[in-house]
Chains A and B, each alone.
Chain A
Amino acid sequence: MLQMNSNNGFVSVKEIVNELKSSLPDEAIIDVRYARNNAAYVEVAREYLVDAVGTAYWKLGGYLASMIGTDDRQRDGHYRLYYVISIEEQINSIPKPWLIIYTKIPWDEPRFESVTPKVPAASWYEREVRDLLGLEPVGHPDPRRLVVPDDWPDGVYPLRKEFKFYEKPPRAPKKYEFMPKKVSEGVVQIAFGPIHAMSDEPSQFRLFVDGERIVDVDYRMYYVHRGIEKIAEERFTYNQVPFLAERVCGICGYAHSSAYCMAAETALNIDVPERAEYIRTVMLEVERLHSHMLNIGIACHLTAFDWGFMEMFRVREKAMKIAEILSGGRKTYGMNLVGGVRRDIPPDKAKKVIEMLRELRKEFKEAIEAIFSNTLFVRRCEGTGILEKHVARELSVVGPMARGSGLYRDIRYAHPYAAYRDIHVKPVVESDGDVLARIKVRAGEVLDSIDIIEHALDAMPGGPIINDGPYELRDYAEGIGYNEAPRGENVHFVVVKRDSRVHRWRVRAATYNNWPALPAMSRGYTVADFPLIVASLDPCYSCTERVIVIDVKNRKRFSTSYARLEHLSRRKSINPSASIDFSLAS
Chain B
Amino acid sequence: MAVVLSVLKTTLKKGKATHPYPRRSFDVDEYYRGRPVIKPEVCMGCGACVMACPAETISIVNDTINGIKTWEISYARCIFCARCHEVCPIDAIKLTREFELASKRKDDLKMVVKMKLARCESCKHYMMYSERQIMFVQKVLKKSLELAGAAEELSKYTMMCPTCKRNYIIRKIVAAIGGGVK
Q: Do chains A and B stick together as partners?
A: yes
Known: A243-B79, A314-B17, A333-B79. A307 touches B11 (CB 8 A): yes
Known: A240-B54, A314-B17, A324-B31. A329 touches B80 (CB 8 A): yes
B146, CB-defined interface residue at 8 Å:
no
Q: Are B79 and A324 in contact (CB under 8 A)?
A: no
Q: Are A328 and B11 in contact (CB under 8 A)?
A: no
Residues of chain A within 8 A of B86, CB atoms compared: 342
B14, CB-defined interface residue at 8 Å:
yes
B interface secondary structure, majority: loop
Which of A177-185, A364-372, A561-569 is the interface stretch? A364-372
Q: Are A370 and B3 in contact (CB under 8 A)?
A: yes
Q: Are B54 and A373 in contact (CB under 8 A)?
A: no
B residues 50-90 in Cβ contact with A at 8 Å: 54-55, 79-83, 86
Q: What sequence of 0s and 1s flags, for each residue 3-31 of chain B, a beta carbon within 8 Å of any chain A beta carbon?
A: 10011001100100100000000001101
Q: How far is the CA of A504 from the CA of B134 in the complex (A)?
A: 40
A311, CB-defined interface residue at 8 Å:
yes
Q: Are A370 and B80 in contact (CB under 8 A)?
A: no
Residues of chain B within 8 A of A325, CB atoms compared: 29, 31
Distance to closest chain A CB from B130 (angstroms): 26
> Which residue of A244, A311, A329, A367 has the most chain B CB atoms within 10 A of its CB atom?
A329
Residues of chain B within 8 A of A213, CB atoms compared: none
* A369 to B, closest residue via Cβ: B6
Q: What sequence of 0s and 1s flags, for each residue 23-51 of chain B, a beta carbon within 8 Å of any chain A beta carbon?
A: 00000110111000000000000000000
Distance to closest chain B CB from A342 (angstroms): 7
Q: Of A236, A317, A366, which one neighbours B17 at CB under 8 angstroms?
A: A317
Distance to closest chain B CB from A304 (angstroms): 13
Q: Are A334 and B10 in contact (CB under 8 A)?
A: no
Q: Of B10, B28, B32, B33, which one neighbours A311 at CB under 8 angstroms?
A: B10
Q: Are B3 and A321 in contact (CB under 8 A)?
A: no
Interchain pairs with CB closer than 8 A, number: 56
> Which residue of A307, A326, A375 has the most chain B CB atoms within 10 A of its CB atom?
A307
Q: How far is the CA of A343 from the CA of B83 in the complex (A)?
A: 11
A residues 329-369 in Cβ contact with B at 8 Å: 329, 333-334, 342, 349, 366-367, 369
Known: A317-B17, A333-B79, A334-B33. A373 touches B2 (CB 8 A): yes
Q: Are B6 and A370 in contact (CB under 8 A)?
A: yes
Q: Are A370 and B33 in contact (CB under 8 A)?
A: no
Distance to closest chain B CB from A40 (angstroms): 34
Interface size class of A (residues with CB under 8 A): 20 to 34
Distance to closest chain B CB from A240 (angstroms): 5
Q: Of B7, B14, B33, which one neighbours A329 at CB under 8 angstroms?
A: B33
Q: How far is the CA of A218 from the CA of B33 in the complex (A)?
A: 43
Distance to closest chain A CB from B28 (angstroms): 7
Q: How far is the CA of A374 from the CA of B6 in the complex (A)?
A: 10
Distance to closest chain A CB from B33 (angstroms): 3
Q: How far is the CA of A243 from the CA of B83 in the complex (A)?
A: 10
Residues of chain A within 8 A of B32, CB atoms compared: 324, 328-329
Q: What sequence of 0s and 1s flags, for each residue 7-45 of chain A, a beta carbon within 8 Å of any chain B beta carbon?
A: 000000000000000000000000000000000000000
Q: How far is the CA of A473 from the CA of B3 in the complex (A)?
A: 60
Residues of chain A within 8 A of B10, CB atoms compared: 311, 366-367, 370
Residues of chain A within 8 A of B7, CB atoms compared: 307, 311, 370
Q: How far is the CA of A366 from the CA of B14 in the complex (A)?
A: 12
Q: Are B82 and A328 in contact (CB under 8 A)?
A: yes
Residues of chain B within 8 A of A334, CB atoms compared: 33, 79-83
Known: A243-B81, A314-B17. A324 touches B11 (CB 8 A): no
Q: Are A324 and B29 in contact (CB under 8 A)?
A: yes
Known: A243-B55, A329-B33, A342-B86. A324 touches B28 (CB 8 A): yes
Q: How far is the CA of A331 from the CA of B91 in the complex (A)?
A: 26
Q: Of A243, A369, A375, which one neighbours B54 at CB under 8 angstroms?
A: A243
Residues of chain B within 8 A of A342, CB atoms compared: 86
Residues of chain A within 8 A of B17, CB atoms compared: 310, 314, 317
Q: Are B54 and A244 in contact (CB under 8 A)?
A: yes
Residues of chain A within 8 A of B81, CB atoms compared: 243, 333-334
* B97 to A, closest residue via Cβ: A328
Q: What sequence of 0s and 1s flags, for each residue 370-382 of chain A, a beta carbon within 8 Å of any chain B beta carbon?
A: 1001110000000
Q: Footprint of A on B, CB under 8 Å?
A: 2-3, 6-7, 10-11, 14, 17, 28-29, 31-33, 54-55, 79-83, 86
Q: Footprint of B on A, CB under 8 Å?
A: 236, 240, 243-244, 307, 310-311, 314, 317, 321, 324-329, 333-334, 342, 349, 366-367, 369-370, 373-375
Q: List 11 A-B contacts (CB under 8 A).
A: A243-B81, A243-B83, A307-B7, A321-B29, A324-B31, A325-B29, A328-B31, A333-B81, A334-B79, A373-B2, A375-B3
